[in-house]
Homo-oligomer: A and B are copies of this chain.
Amino acid sequence: MSLTAFFRPCSIALVGATERAGSVGRSIWDNLRAFDSPVWPVNAKRAEVGGVRAFPDLASLPAVPDLVVIVTPAATVPKIVEEAGRIGTRAAVVISAGFKETGEAGAELEARVLEAARRHGVRLIGPNCLGLMNPHAGLNATFATSMARPGRVAFLSQSGALCTAILDWSHDQNVGFSAFVSTGAMADVGWGDLIRHFGQDARTESIVMYMESPGADAVDFLAAAREVAARKPIVVIKVGRTAEASRAAASHTGAMTGSDAVLDAALRQNGVLRVDTIEELFDMAEVLAKQPLPAGPRLAIVTNAGGPGALATDALVLGGGSVAELSQTTLDALSVVLPAHWSHHNPVDVLGDADASRFASALRITAQDDAVDGVLAVLTPQAMTQPTEIARAVAAIAHPSGKPLLASWMGAQSVQEGRALLNAAAVPTYDYPDEAAKSFVRMHEHRTRLDWLRETENALCDTAAASVELPCEGGLLSEAAAKRVLAVAGIPVVETREAHDEEAAVAAARDLGFPVVLKLLSPTITHKSDCGGVVLDLNDETAVRAAWQGIRERATAKHGTAAFAGVTVQRMIREKGVELILGASQDAQFGPVLLFGAGGTLVEVMQDRTLALPPLNQALARRWMRETRVFKLLQGTRGGRPVDFAALEDVLVRFSRLVHAEPRLLEVDINPLLATPAGVLALDARMVLSRA
């Protein structure tokens, strides 16, 4: 259902309007009066509010309001929402607090509000929020002390307190908004609804979010992001990167925050840019709306001094960007317009005495190089520098060769006019060149996320998974059973036999061919190697018998006889390769999540892992693997051959589709997954199912 009534209502009722100074009801009433369509105060105890006739309840209003804003105590809210629904209102903002965030009784009250809303088809923003604004419509349904400037950014915040600080700051910085929404507890209207609404809103160029949790419907949030992100940048600051911060946020909103790493993977795959600071949040909203995206990570820097160029280069490379390598043609062309002592490489130092024409020529020539994905112009006000003239010349270039252009006019007073000229020409300016370089890196990061987004959409169109029959009972599968499931899904596994007595173990070993490996088969112990449950490299029958005995003794000595159900026997794989881990688990908010990284025994120490949401296709699998350090090892080191990437990607894709199709797979670990130049093989597997 459309959210238009929230942002462009033709009439509004404020339930809880009052004249009491310092009250929330008074603040909102004062703010709403500037709105030029009818606004009706509802207050059973007063005949009028601020000189306007008040109504005892919603039913008494002269017409049905498009939007109801509620500031009365929590206990009264269910009845008011009920009444609003009954008279035909379809949008309500609940400012009132005292719900889920206060404990069980509050949560129950919130459930009743929601129930009433659902029954009557009323959409709710809140509860426990600051309200919302549409500066273009002159609508301020908040208790903030000022109105946002009109502009092109839709700002959505899960923290009301932050809204007031941002608002204050935005006046100082001349930042304007198409909407300003305090989402509160998001009992009903969530991120997905808001993103879709502003995705359609003609006045919104970018969507900027302060997030504490992805909300009740995280999957819908991602779906909405996929629909909108390619057209309008969605930039998020999400607190709770660390467990500590997550606790701080959770206690505040009463919402449970899931693992941040999962959210991070989800944002990356669905085209949402994540930033770390409020400054970056609004910087990116501006930059992405003003400038084209770079095709790659290679930045050229044109500067009138070496030091600032070096500062920018450091920040660029540390951030993950790269310094564009200029062609000989470009260098030759630059040498024509620059004095002999110019730097002769990128950063292009046009020297301290550069005038506007020299600076602009160098910028134009540099930008034309095919190896350049974006340009940063840096100026320091030196003795002979004319900051304003150079800014004018640079502003005239704006998007050189369709590539992004950023600028840093360093200093203060003497560069103010130049900065204003550049900003007016949609060239973002930065106080320091390192900030500009970091901003370029984020632009490229956004570009990359849009690539991920496209592939995610492709992967969702083709999710054909092998049909796998899972055992009906839940719980931990045996290693052999887990491998059978993987094999049916098309993942190569090393053949594995279960043996419940010593003779069966010997027979299996003979059948598979020596050397073999024996591993503990236990209904209770999952980390087999920790208790001596794995014996490698058994070359004959005697060795197999000894290993059987040893495993049995060690398992029963420590964990009792019930811990020992026999062994599994498999060929010893002597091939050298890279040990990987491929796994899956269920996230409470996002559902199945995949994990890939360095495997084997070092897995916990090296912490080299990356997450993704299934399904994957080949392109996504390839991108995904690059997120790890072990990827370098897969490419082959010291002249070694690379592993069979086609086979590895295939395994990742098949595994992802299996996990996507089978919600009963609670936990899967393939560790090690051995990757060699000849192929890929699952050596061990662990699988936990929910009941059928």
Contact = CB atoms under 8 A, between A and B. Distances in A.
Interface in A633-669: 633, 637-639
A92 to B, nearest CB: 21
Interface string A21-62: 010100100000000000000000000000000000000000
A388 to B, nearest CB: 14
A630 B413 CA distance: 50
A310 B248 contact: yes
Interface size class of A (residues with CB under 8 A): 35 or more
B432 A278 contact: yes
A486 B165 CA distance: 63
Interface stretch (A3-11, A186-194, A343-351, A675-683): A343-351
A415 interface: yes
Nearest to A412: B172
A20 interface: no
A161 B244 contact: no
A315 B689 CA distance: 38
A530 B382 contact: no
B434 A278 contact: yes
Given A242-B318, A349-B252, A434 B276 contact: yes
A242 B319 CA distance: 11
Contacts of A607: 629
A604 B640 CA distance: 13
B162 A434 contact: no
Contacts of A278: 311, 432, 434
Indicate the member of A165, A602, A637 with the most B CB atoms within 10 Å: A165
Contacts of A349: 248, 251-252
A630 B251 CA distance: 35
A251 B639 CA distance: 34
Contacts of A415: 168
Given A171-B413, A314-B239, A432-B279, A165 B605 contact: no
Interface string A160-180: 111011011101110000000
A9 to B, nearest CB: 23
Contact of A605 (B210, B248, B630): B630
A102 interface: yes
A639 B308 CA distance: 50
A15 B139 CA distance: 68
A325 to B, nearest CB: 10
Contact of A313 (B22, B239, B606, B629): B239
Of the candidates A144, A248, A415, A607, the one having the most CB atoms from chain B within 10 angstroms of its own CB is: A248
Contact of A633 (B245, B410, B605): B605
A609 B569 CA distance: 39
Contact of A162 (B341, B380, B384, B435): B380
A241 interface: yes
A159 interface: yes
A71 to B, nearest CB: 12
Contacts of A539: none
A143 interface: yes
Contacts of A381: 145, 164-165, 168
A240 B434 CA distance: 13
Interface in A409-429: 410-415
Given A245-B314, A248-B343, A310-B252, A159 B305 contact: yes
Interface of A: 22, 24, 27, 102, 143-145, 157-162, 164-165, 167-169, 171-173, 210, 212, 237, 239-242, 244-249, 251-253, 276-279, 304-311, 313-318, 322-323, 341, 343-345, 347, 349, 352, 380-384, 410-415, 431-432, 434-435, 527, 530, 602, 604-607, 629-630, 632-633, 637-639
Q: What 9 A-B pairs are tightest by C-beta distance, nearest first?
A: A159-B307, A252-B306, A161-B305, A168-B411, A172-B412, A165-B410, A239-B310, A242-B317, A245-B313
